[in-house]
Chain A
Amino acid sequence: MQALDRKLLRDFKRLWRQALAIAMVLACGVSILLTALGMYTALSDTRATYYERNRFADIFVTVQRAPERLIGELAEIEGVWAVEARTVGDTVLDVPGNARSVTGRILSLPIDGEPRLNVPILKTGRLPAPTSTNEVMVNANFAIANDFILGDHFFANLNGQKRQLTITGTAQSPEFIYTIGPGALMPDNETYGIIWMPQPAVAAAFDMTGAFNDVSLKLTTGALRADVIDAVDRLLDPYGSLGAYGRDLHLSDSFIDAEIKQLRNMASILPPIFFGISAFLVSMVMGRIIALERSQIGLLKAVGYSDLEICLHYLMLAGLIAVVGIGIGWFAGSWLARLLAWQYAQYFDFPFLIFRTSLWVYAASGVAALLTTTLGAAQAAIKAARLAPAIAMQPPAPPQFKRSLIDQTMAAMRLSQPTIMILRSLIRWPVRSALTMLGLALAVSTIVSPSFFDYALDKIVDSAFYESNRQDAMLVMAHDMPQSVLSTAAALPAVLQTEGQQFHPVILRNGIHEKRTSIQASQPGADLSRVINSDGMAVDVPPGGVVLTERLAAHLEVGIGDAVDAEFLGGRQETNTLTVTGTIAQYFGLGAYMDLNYVNGLLRQSPRISLVNVSLDDAELLALHAELKDIPNLVGIVMMTDTRRSFSETIEQSIGVMNLVYIIIGLLITIGVTYNGARIQLSERSRELASLRILGFTRAEVSYILIGETLLLALLAQPLGWWIGAQIAKAMANSFSSDLYNMPVVLHPAIFAKASFFVLLASFSSVMLVRRRLDKQNLVSVMKVRE
């Protein structure tokens, strides 16, 4: 090993604390890049492979009832590669041992073997016998959640008859990677299951013999999706089609898609911040090292080392920091990615996970980190290389301080000399002071930005469950029912209050803007499910009007008083023009609200409802569940208390982990910035501070100068940090918001206080660590050292 390399290693060993502080910040960037990119590729690859292997369809459509002869016509549409027509229906299940009522989605299996599209993967057992009327296959998660083993039975309400079904197998399907029941907000495998049954049995149960009500189509390569959708709609509209749609609107796929987009955002927003801070820290530390090693540089040049060799020597020192950062980052990133993969496995039902963080992800994060430190060290290294040897051997000229207006102000304020020293140093190196402040502000913002989720969640729960949806449960009907069903429901045990609602799938249009959503129609004065305006007041939608969620209104570019066309996809499939009478902030979905009586008139139908909201007496819940399992035409019951609980629990758990991770990251940045800043200050000022001690200043007075500068910058950084944090929070909320959720930004003062507390505490602790070195300094030897 060459002597210069030994110097490199020993310098690195001597600087290990500073190097580690920087390496940790760098490691944050590397690990987040690795995690986000790793999970991004893992999720995308897994999804793509799963879809490909199991022939997940490209286009989906639900109809009321279409004759089987149309299947051939669908297959002949140009661009269609395969058609899978089947019967799908929801029903209430009675699962022995499960007191709650369970909703099952029944899918028909072709009699001649497995489906051509959306092919389920058999996990255990076998497919039901094609001619059997009571054998079923269920999704594996449903079986696990309910402790089913092969051969177990449960009951289903099929066409008014309660039938015993036997489980012959369990499966997973690309259609149900994210399985969410009607009206539910989170997956709940205990109360929602997918059930595959042979086609004849399903057709008989849902009165669909010779017909189908659900079609999936796969396209040939290069086919134009929009054209096929138009052709499918033309063919199926007379049969009560709700309109064909692509994968982008498929519920399960859009949840995965939202997740993949978030990972991509995470990979592109966060790592650059960490790399930026690391570059700044490296540049600050290298600048100081080169100032300290001035005479050594001169010597190296005097003995014949070239500019390039010297430049490389210092770049390699920065490179070593990068190597440590990359090592820690790779380790932490691989671990984090696994943790995240495990979390995903809870929500997403993949039969396999292609988790091979590709080498290029490791390489890319490593190269990014190396580039960062190289860029950070470049200026200092070039300066070292350019240093003329004769000048390098001489002590550097003292830094130039100039009198300015600020000095006059300081004099007028009669500040103490130590305070003046602090302020002058800040002014003398404004770029360094500003960058230090920015670094600390970013640390504050790192803690501020994700903290809003906690409060946003409270607001969402408050708004969704206590203000808008105050019902204890929703009874979902198989199809629209006469209003008399309300009195049937009122007679059920535990039911205290009933209200009916209608749901209509629609496409809302304004010029070129359109959105597929559903209109929710309620009686005026409804108390259980209410439309709440921005003032927190319940409003009734006037006849002829429609109230839209703000996100939907923004998408359609309409405001209050504007007209919007509503194409009702069910029934007569008419298009009506409605007036937007209000917009509301709502956090789930893209809702639109109308007056129930007006809708009945508009659609020229007798009064009917598709859902019953009820309030319940908890004492009689068990009796209610027992009874519900026997009610025909009821396809599901959504217990709002369960929904609320599982929503809060799930989100709180992941938010808790996320907040902790961000606090750690914020602390690492703070330590990286303040520890290095204070070390450099100490190094620059050691003579000055020793002189003051010799002059009779106490340790505390001298420490004040060291601690004061760092803490002053930390204090000044707070408001900036709050502001940046608020902006990042808004960006994050935006990136989390989709057609499925709308994330509000709630910036409670406690968020800012918490962030400032952590950052100031970490700054103080870091600078106190450096202060200990000040205490240990030997005054005489410091004074003897040639600068």
Chain B
Amino acid sequence: MSEPIFRTQGVTKVYQTGAVKVFALAGVDLELFAGEMTVLLGPSGSGKSTLLNILGGLDHATSGRVWFRNTELTDMPDRGLTRYRRDHVGFVFQFYNLVPSLTARENVQLVTDVSPNPMPAEEALAQVGLADRMDHFPSEMSGGEQQRVAIARAIAKRPEILLCDEPTGALDSTTGVQVLEVLQDINERFGTTTVIITHNAEIQRMAHRVIQFQDGKISNVSTNDERLAPAEIVW
């Protein structure tokens, strides 16, 4: 087993809406290892995205502790979290979140402009098979292409971790498979620790490990001895 890249200890997250307290996370202890591909599975509201946001430095835990390698993220001020995201984390979202006024290449450059050791935007786009679509605007691309631009944007900084929140959620099966293939390829070629949140139980079969969530807690952790290639996944 390789070294743990993330470690959490009793992490909780409470949202206060009016008089109601919602426990999005109710005590999560977890370790994620370098180079592994992990799938977080669970119904809506089970806390997957909240955990991903905390790991990615987008949000603070209400209580508990979080480490990235030996660095504790728990009480890191915003400036430190910004630095952390800039240097280490790549995000892929369900709705791509591309800037509509920028072309594919420029969307990737958004990241390469601020990263310490990025790959050229063109290379990142080539990695996701979009070498010939670089100067297209998001509105001129299909959903799958847009998601691949988002992945290119995420990997262009050569992140150690790739956090993907429902990356295929808005896609049809063919395009979804293409996107998963890209993610797996990145994971294998660059050894990028990849965390994928999904509703789709089939996707778990391509992961090294599967962590299941229920009501803000981890309900089950399993390891796949045999992983499926994305193309083999039945949607």
Interface residues of chain A, those whose CB is within 8 Å of chain B, are 2-4, 6-7, 10-11, 14, 295-296, 298-307, 388-390, 393, 786
Instruction: Give residues of chain B (29-65) contacting chain A, Cβ–Cβ below 8 Å.
Output: 50, 53, 56, 58-59
* Complex partner residue of A304 from B82, B97, B102, CB under 8 angstroms: B82
A302 in contact with B78 given A6-B106, A11-B101, A296-B97 (CB within 8 Å) = no
* Shortest Cβ gap from A667 to chain B (Å): 31
Tell me how many residue pairs across A and B have CB atoms closer than 8 Å: 79
A305 in contact with B82 (CB, 8 Å): yes
Chain B, residues 79-115, CB within 8 Å of chain A (1/0): the string is 1001101110101010101010110001101111111
| 17 CB-based A-B contacts, threshold 8 Å | A2-B113, A3-B109, A6-B101, A6-B102, A7-B110, A10-B102, A296-B99, A298-B97, A303-B153, A304-B82, A304-B111, A304-B115, A304-B157, A305-B82, A305-B114, A389-B58, A786-B95
**Extra 4 A-B pairs, beta carbons < 8 Å, given A303-B86, A304-B87:** A301-B82, A303-B157, A305-B82, A390-B58
Among B91, B109, B114, B115, max chain A CB count under 10 A is at B114
CA distance A298 to B91 in the complex (A): 11
B114 in contact with A302 (CB, 8 Å): no
A302 in contact with B91 (CB, 8 Å): yes
CA distance A389 to B102 in the complex (A): 20
B110 in contact with A3 (CB, 8 Å): yes
For chain B, the bracket of interface size reads 20 to 34
* Shortest Cβ gap from B75 to chain A (Å): 15
A393 in contact with B97 (CB, 8 Å): yes
A303 in contact with B114 given A3-B109, A6-B106 (CB within 8 Å) = yes
Among A2, A10, A299, A302, max chain B CB count under 10 A is at A302
Set of chain A residues within 8 Å of B78, measured between Cβ atoms = 307
A302 in contact with B107 (CB, 8 Å): no
A304 in contact with B83 (CB, 8 Å): yes
Instruction: Give residues of chain B (105-131) contacting chain A, Cβ–Cβ below 8 Å.
Output: 106-107, 109-115
Query: In this complex, what residue of B is CB-closest to A395?
Result: B95
Among A304, A307, A786, max chain B CB count under 10 A is at A304
* Complex partner residue of A301 from B58, B106, B113, B115, CB under 8 angstroms: B58
Set of chain A residues within 8 Å of B110, measured between Cβ atoms = 3-4, 7, 300, 303
* Shortest Cβ gap from A92 to chain B (Å): 77
Set of chain B residues within 8 Å of A393, measured between Cβ atoms = 58, 93, 97
Among B99, B107, B153, max chain A CB count under 10 A is at B99
Set of chain A residues within 8 Å of B59, measured between Cβ atoms = 388-390
B91 in contact with A7 (CB, 8 Å): no
* Shortest Cβ gap from A284 to chain B (Å): 21
A7 in contact with B79 given A304-B86, A304-B115 (CB within 8 Å) = no
Set of chain A residues within 8 Å of B86, measured between Cβ atoms = 303-305
Set of chain B residues within 8 Å of A2, measured between Cβ atoms = 109, 113
CA distance A299 to B96 in the complex (A): 10
* Complex partner residue of A3 from B87, B95, B107, CB under 8 angstroms: B107
B99 in contact with A7 (CB, 8 Å): yes
* Shortest Cβ gap from B169 to chain A (Å): 12
Ranked nearest first, the 3 interchain pairs of A and B with the lowest CB-CB distance are A304-B86, A10-B101, A3-B109
Instruction: Give residues of chain B (153-206) contacting chain A, Cβ–Cβ below 8 Å.
Output: 153, 157
CA distance A390 to B54 in the complex (A): 9
* Shortest Cβ gap from B30 to chain A (Å): 18
Set of chain A residues within 8 Å of B87, measured between Cβ atoms = 304
CA distance A303 to B57 in the complex (A): 10
A299 in contact with B115 (CB, 8 Å): no
* Shortest Cβ gap from A50 to chain B (Å): 56
Set of chain B residues within 8 Å of A306, measured between Cβ atoms = 79, 82
B99 in contact with A302 (CB, 8 Å): no
Query: In this complex, what residue of B is CB-closest to A293?
Result: B99
Query: In this complex, what residue of A is CB-closest to B137?
Result: A10
B95 in contact with A295 (CB, 8 Å): yes
CA distance A298 to B99 in the complex (A): 11
CA distance A304 to B83 in the complex (A): 6
A14 in contact with B113 (CB, 8 Å): no
* Shortest Cβ gap from A215 to chain B (Å): 75
Set of chain B residues within 8 Å of A389, measured between Cβ atoms = 53, 58-59
A4 in contact with B58 (CB, 8 Å): no
Set of chain B residues within 8 Å of A299, measured between Cβ atoms = 91, 93, 97, 99
B95 in contact with A7 (CB, 8 Å): no
A304 in contact with B58 (CB, 8 Å): no
CA distance A390 to B57 in the complex (A): 9
* Shortest Cβ gap from A390 to chain B (Å): 4
CA distance A295 to B95 in the complex (A): 10
Set of chain B residues within 8 Å of A4, measured between Cβ atoms = 110, 113
CA distance A285 to B97 in the complex (A): 22
B97 in contact with A7 (CB, 8 Å): no
CA distance A6 to B107 in the complex (A): 10
CA distance A629 to B112 in the complex (A): 91
* Shortest Cβ gap from A683 to chain B (Å): 14
Set of chain A residues within 8 Å of B99, measured between Cβ atoms = 7, 296, 299
A7 in contact with B102 (CB, 8 Å): yes
Set of chain A residues within 8 Å of B101, measured between Cβ atoms = 6-7, 10-11, 14
Set of chain B residues within 8 Å of A390, measured between Cβ atoms = 50, 53, 58-59
Set of chain B residues within 8 Å of A6, measured between Cβ atoms = 101-102, 106
Set of chain B residues within 8 Å of A300, measured between Cβ atoms = 110
* Shortest Cβ gap from A40 to chain B (Å): 43
* Shortest Cβ gap from B97 to chain A (Å): 4
Set of chain A residues within 8 Å of B50, measured between Cβ atoms = 390
B102 in contact with A303 (CB, 8 Å): no
CA distance A356 to B145 in the complex (A): 59
A303 in contact with B106 (CB, 8 Å): no
CA distance A389 to B60 in the complex (A): 11
Among B83, B106, B107, B112, max chain A CB count under 10 A is at B106
Set of chain A residues within 8 Å of B112, measured between Cβ atoms = 3
Query: In this complex, what residue of A is CB-closest to B107?
Result: A3
CA distance A6 to B87 in the complex (A): 23
Set of chain A residues within 8 Å of B153, measured between Cβ atoms = 303
B106 in contact with A304 (CB, 8 Å): no
CA distance A295 to B113 in the complex (A): 20
Instruction: Give residues of chain B (125-141) contacting chain A, Cβ–Cβ below 8 Å.
Output: none
* Complex partner residue of B97 from A11, A14, A295, A307, CB under 8 angstroms: A295
Set of chain B residues within 8 Å of A295, measured between Cβ atoms = 95, 97
* Shortest Cβ gap from A565 to chain B (Å): 77
CA distance A302 to B107 in the complex (A): 13
